[in-house]
Amino acid sequence: MDLPRCRWRTCGVGKGGSVKAMEWLLGSAGGPGGGTGSHSGSGTGSRTGSGTAGGAGGGARAAAGVAAVGLAAAGALHVVWTVSPWPLATRAEFAAAVVGVGESRLPSTPETLAVAGLLGAGAWLTVTAARPAHRLAPSRLVRTGLWTLSGVLAARGLGGLLVSGLDLREVPAEFRHWDLALYSPLCLALGGLTGYLAVRTRPGNHPDPRSGKAA
């Protein structure tokens, strides 16, 4: 069965594939089909149409893509952790290195799934905020959720660096090592990306398609 319009270039395979995949995930700035982008060649021109006319520039869309992938991957890991201690060999090792507690104090399956759901919701928020054509993009739900997500991630990152760096809480050495090397820096990076996205896509920052200037 021949899938319609599915060629190497349009499906994002091969050279420039990652860019095509990101465009598919986040959409073009001008709407679902990039109506004001380079394909139409009308209005404000190809560069303006593909970058800023919809209110989310290339930088904001890239930040949303990276943040969404990171949040979705973290959510998927939490789902895996309900049935497996991967990438550790045992639940005891997992509890010490990933959670920082003894095996008997590991979160329950419903709690772990709840965290996975919140991370998935965070990924949805970032993608939705970067798609100006989406009817919920300018809504209070998305705007408040995005700022809350950024704040929580930043607080977790900064708090982790302080607590683990200054040894303010008694945790296994493995957890302290990974908290300083990976967990806290990752949270800070995701918090920064989502905060940047929130600033770049705020209503007052949307450019006027007729003039190319912020409204």
Residue 5 lies in a domain: no
Burial pattern 84-120, b for ≥16 Cβ within 10 A else e, equals ebeebeeeeebbbbbbbeeeeebbeeeebbebbebbb
- Picking from 33-37, 146-150, 187-191, which range would have the lowest pLDDT averaged per residue? 33-37
Reported as a single tens digit per residue, the pLDDT across 114-149 is 999 999 999 999 999 998 888 888 899 999 999 999
Reported as a single tens digit per residue, the pLDDT across 44-56 is 444 444 433 344 5
Residue 101 lies in a domain: yes
Residue 132 lies in a domain: yes
Statement: residue 171 has pLDDT above 80? yes
Reported as a single tens digit per residue, the pLDDT across 1-18 is 444 444 444 444 444 555
Residue 119 lies in a domain: yes
Q: What is the DSSP letter of 71?
A: H
Residue 140 lies in a domain: yes
State the average pLDDT over residues 83-108: 96
Structural domain that includes position 151 = 57-205
Residue 42 lies in a domain: no
Residue 146 lies in a domain: yes
- Answer whether 0.75 is exceeded by the pTM: no
Alpha-carbon distance values, 135 to 59, 71, 102, 122 (Å): 21, 22, 46, 17
Judged by DSSP in three states, 61 sits in helix
Cβ(143)–Cβ(204) under 8 Å?
A: no
Split into its structural domains, the chain has a count of 1
Determine the Cα–Cα distance for residues 62 and 180; give it in Å rounded to an integer: 26
Residue 28 lies in a domain: no
